[in-house]
Amino acid sequence: MSCIRHCACLVVMALLAVCFADHAAARQTTSEDTIKNQMQAGAAAFMTAFRNRDAEAIAAMWTPECLFINEQGERFFGRDTIKHEYAKAFEDAPDDLEFVVEIDTAHMVGPQTVVVEGRSAVLPQLPGKPRVMSRFTAIHVKRDGKWLVAHLRDNRVEVPPATGKLEDLEVLVGSWQAARDNISVDVTCRWIENNQFLERTHSVTESGQVKSTGRQIIGVHPSTERINSWTFNSDGSHARDVWSPHKNGWVVESIGSLPDGTVTTASYTLTIKDANSLVWESDDRLVGDIALPDSAKIELTRK
């Protein structure tokens, strides 16, 4: 099946967002926001089941009479077929193969029906081959209080190279700080290992007491030629991130794990205002199946 072929471990930008959140004002969401969060939570559950190679859990996310149409136009009918195809694919799947799903829109067309559009891809991608992803359209129906996939169609998309170079992150080198009230975050970035990697360390201080620390190693993944980072925090949480160039900065897609194994995902945007000012913000944040509100924009200034 072609669909097989494709964070309190939140790095410093998320730590900033958590530390500086305005708890006095709760974020109000529209019903469509709520539905999208529910669909993204379902996507997170799918990614966990995929990582666990659990074909039965994946099949349970579909209706018994479902239809899946892959990128080649092949049709697969029914929950049992979905289970069989995933189980067969998992037999030869590499240990590091992961499936990433992002929900773009979720629109209710009836009290029990939602049309979802999104993107998916398998990681890591094959070295030396064009990067590919799928754009999908899915119909979800509510059965016994659960949203299940009744129909899904994939369309393969070749993604133009957007890897960037590690040298493009030279602007991050140095010492940075963000502060508000009695909380401050200090970040230091330096070249290491013959300038093959960047190391970023951070500490969060509240009322003069260090509350948490972390380390992030940034480098180019040899199999995908894309900038990746690996983040390790003092509470035992960790994450792997993929960086993509964006207007005036970078978009960072993160997937990680809390110390108890709960999966976390988030998307970060880094905007470079000038050589001495950076802005971090975060959205699409999930801890397990719980959607977190988007973060406020946090500005770091060079010390």
* pLDDT of 193 over the 70 cut: yes
Structural domain span for residue 210: 166-302
- Both 186 and 50 in one domain: the answer is no
Domain boundary among 131, 159, 187: 159
- Both 173 and 279 in one domain: the answer is yes
The structure's pTM equals 0.55
Asked if residue 137 lies in contact with residue 115, where contact means CB atoms within 8 angstroms, the answer is yes
Secondary structure (H, E, C), 228-266: EEEEEECCCCEEEEEEEEECCEEEEEEEEECCCCCEEEE
The candidate with the shortest Cα–Cα distance to 198, out of 176, 171, 222, is: 171
- Both 15 and 148 in one domain: the answer is yes
* pLDDT of 2 over the 70 cut: no
| Burial class of residue 16 in the structure, from the number of CB atoms within 10 Å of its CB (0-12 exposed, 13-18 middle, 19+ buried) | buried
- Both 192 and 82 in one domain: the answer is no
Q: With pLDDT > 70 as the criterion, what percentage of the chain qualifies?
A: 85
- Both 8 and 149 in one domain: the answer is yes
Q: What are phi and psi of 256, to 5 degrees?
A: -155, -160
Give the tokens for residue 107.
């629109």
- Both 83 and 105 in one domain: the answer is yes
- Both 50 and 105 in one domain: the answer is yes
Distance CA 267, CA 7 (A): 10
Q: How many domains are there within the chain?
A: 2
Give me the CATH number covering residue 203. Answer: 2.40.128.20
Q: What angle do CA 279, 281, 282 make, to 5 degrees?
A: 160
Give me the CATH number covering residue 29. Answer: 3.10.450.50
pLDDT, one tens digit per residue, over 208-256 is 899 999 999 999 887 667 899 999 999 999 998 988 888 789 989 888 8
Position 115 scores a pLDDT of 93
Average pLDDT, the chain: 83
pLDDT, one tens digit per residue, over 20-75 is 333 322 333 346 778 888 898 899 999 999 999 999 999 999 999 999 999 889 99
- Both 6 and 155 in one domain: the answer is yes
Q: With pLDDT > 90 as the criterion, what percentage of the chain qualifies?
A: 46
Domain boundary among 136, 159, 182: 159
Contacts of residue 247, Cβ cutoff 8 Å, sequence gap at least 6? none
- Both 192 and 140 in one domain: the answer is no
- Both 154 and 182 in one domain: the answer is no
- Look at the block and give the residue holding tokens 């995908």: 224
pLDDT, one tens digit per residue, over 93-106 is 888 888 888 888 89
